[in-house]
Structure 1
Amino acid sequence: MKWKNPDTGWSPVRLHLLPKLVGTPLEIIDVAMVRELIYDIREHKGVATSLSCHGWADRIFSYAIEHDYCKHNPAALIKAARVGNRNKRTRWLTTPEIKRYLTGLYQSNGYRGYKLALHLLLMLALRKAELCGAAWGEIDFEKGELLIPSGRMKTKKDHLVILQTQAIEMLQELQRLGGGSPWVMPMPTKPSRAMHSNNIDATHGAALAVGDIIDYNIHDHRHTASTHLREQGHSPEVVETALSHAIPGMAGTYSHAQYKTQRREMLQSWANLCHMIVLLPMIFLRLTTSIHFLPV
């Protein structure tokens, strides 16, 4: 069976399935073997990772059966409910992980537009579809704002996104890459239409593989931004407004306009932090190198 490059999104296979199953004929792999492996992954890596590996095993064996590599699918006989239930995710990236993720993102192979999109999702704390379905007509570069209409929002309400200096530069590069398309992220084969948000998943997987990060999906960017912003001391109401979460009581009634200035300051500081996390080690290296060669 021919495997694709694991650094383009197959990290659960590379990290957890292949080390145990590589070299084993598919016909010999039975339900007991797969179940033991999945349960072992659950014990050491958690439910989410074990469920992901179970899903990959199911898809791989289904593909193998379809192409006559084997005749049975042991993973299909193991119910996902027996592996575990996905609870509400709380995964977020620590500061060192942010550095590894962003460094890995730009070092990985792939289309630059997808890399910029993933970086923007982290900085703006948007959902995938909110960015990938955006049109240039929704963006005001002079004001530094993106207004997402209610029809594309999970909350069914218009959402004003404050664009940081770095975000504006990235969006302007995406506009050049789009070649005149009306969409921020156009479909590669048909630029007159917005691409599907899942197109960036493989690039995200490649960044995880290069950065050696596990059990982290794109939506977790929102948890990462929320956690770091709260740790920086920003008001929960301002953070929740930036994430387009419902705020109870009168605070929620006026949050759209009331927190605009605070959101701009908060999100700019977040973008600056993401930038410095990656840039600071490079500056430190240059400084120490320069000091080392200073004449005595």
Structure 2
Amino acid sequence: MVERGARVMANHLFGDLRQFFNFALAREWVDAHPLAGLTKEKIGGRQKERERYLSEDEIIDLKQRLPSANLLHTTELSIWIMISTCCRVGELSQARWADLDLDKGEWSIPAGNSKNAKDHTIYLSGFARAQFLALKTLTGDSDWCLPARDGLGHVCLKSITKQIKDRMRDEPLSNRTKAAGALLLSGGAWTPHDLRRTGATMMGELGVIGEVIERCLNHVEQNKLKRIYQRHELKAEQRDAWRRLGDRLALLLATEEQENVIIGRFAKTA
């Protein structure tokens, strides 16, 4: 992997193998850890943190580009769900309709579907709820919000990412979509995870404090003392944060229908 330039993938494989051998060593299935002493820096090198997020102009452009991208309608709706809820693509791919209470506007992500193995509740904005309602008209007969083609389980965890990546390429791959480059925006290529970062960034620009944004992202508090003693979940604040984000997205996506509306821009901070 390193020789062919896939250094990030090499680091992911190294992490999986290290976890596997730690498991085996603890059960005395192996006599020694073959990866002892190795670090990611020695495998694929230190990974640069991604900073990509979509600007508001790009969000408007994205809506205009989607019709020509020839995506599944469920994937189009998934894009707006991910940006308006700040969820991970895997959390949405594994979501069941039983996890959602659309009357109350709540999405309960079970611990088994979240990256940090902790339950998480997303309080749906009017915008996000509308996306889920539209999705339910398409897949409501299934247990899954995004069912697989055979209907026996949820969609492949890589399906949405692959669909989007195919529409960033310079040239289409064989037997794949011909809509190469259809979703390439002015800021460059983007991924489903960048939509999560975009939603969080917009929350900050809308005046939501960092601690609330971290709760909305279901991040674990890094300060141990705060984790132990500050148990307040900031539910009302999270609900308001998602509402602000949803209202802003709804306004941005309504601009082409309302040509007399001028969208105010946030001032850039130093």
Q: What's the TM-score, normalizing by structure 2? A: 0.69
**1:111 paired residue number:** 72
**1:232 paired residue number:** 206
> Aligned pairs, how many?
212
RMSD, aligned α-carbons: 3.1
Structure 1 residues 202 and 105 mapped into 2: Cα distance closer, same or farther (>3 Å)? farther
SS at match of 1:212: coil
Structure 1 residues 254 and 112 mapped into 2: Cα distance closer, same or farther (>3 Å)? farther
Quick one: distance in 1 between partners of 2:231 and 2:103?
A: 20
Contact in 2 for aligned 1:183/1:192 (Cα 8 Å): no
**2:55 paired residue number:** 94
Structure 1 residues 137 and 257 mapped into 2: Cα distance closer, same or farther (>3 Å)? farther
Correspondence 1:260 to 2:232: no
**1:272 paired residue number:** 247
Match of 1:150 among 111, 116, 120: 111
**2:190 paired residue number:** 216
Contact in 1 for aligned 2:255/2:261 (Cα 8 Å): no
SS at match of 2:257: helix
**2:83 paired residue number:** 122
**2:144 paired residue number:** 183
1:199-210 to structure 2, matched below 5 A, reads 199-205=159-165, 209-210=181-182
Structure 1 residues 250 and 106 mapped into 2: Cα distance closer, same or farther (>3 Å)? farther
**2:35 paired residue number:** none
**How far did residue 138 of structure 1 move?**
0.9
Contact in 2 for aligned 1:237/1:251 (Cα 8 Å): no
**How far did residue 118 of structure 1 move?**
1.5
**How far did residue 263 of structure 1 move?**
1.2
**How far did residue 215 of structure 1 move?**
3.0
**How far did residue 207 of structure 1 move?**
6.1
Structure 1 residues 117 and 263 mapped into 2: Cα distance closer, same or farther (>3 Å)? same
Quick one: distance in 2 between partners of 1:207 and 1:283?
A: 28
Which amino acid is the alignment partner of residue 134 of structure 1?
A: A
**How far did residue 92 of structure 1 move?**
0.9
**How far did residue 241 of structure 1 move?**
0.4
Quick one: distance in 2 between partners of 1:216 and 1:106?
A: 18
**How far did residue 144 of structure 1 move?**
0.8
Structure 1 residues 95 and 231 mapped into 2: Cα distance closer, same or farther (>3 Å)? same
**2:96 paired residue number:** 135
Quick one: distance in 2 between partners of 1:270 and 1:205?
A: 25
**2:29 paired residue number:** none
SS at match of 2:152: strand
Structure 1 residues 95 and 207 mapped into 2: Cα distance closer, same or farther (>3 Å)? farther
Structure 1 residues 179 and 251 mapped into 2: Cα distance closer, same or farther (>3 Å)? same
Deviations 1:173-229 (A, max 9, x none): 2222115110000002x1131111211124424665335322311111121112121
Identity score, percent: 24
Deviations 1:85-118 (A, max 9, x none): 6411111111111211232224421210111011
Contact in 2 for aligned 1:105/1:204 (Cα 8 Å): no
Unaligned runs of 5+ in 1: 1-49, 53-80, 288-296
Contact in 2 for aligned 1:98/1:277 (Cα 8 Å): yes
Contact in 2 for aligned 1:146/1:162 (Cα 8 Å): yes
Structure 1 residues 97 and 255 mapped into 2: Cα distance closer, same or farther (>3 Å)? farther
Quick one: distance in 1 between partners of 2:48 and 2:119?
A: 29
Q: What's the TM-score, normalizing by structure 1? A: 0.63
**1:166 paired residue number:** 127
Quick one: distance in 2 between partners of 1:118 and 1:110?
A: 11
Which amino acid is the alignment partner of residue 95 of structure 2?
A: A
**1:34 paired residue number:** none
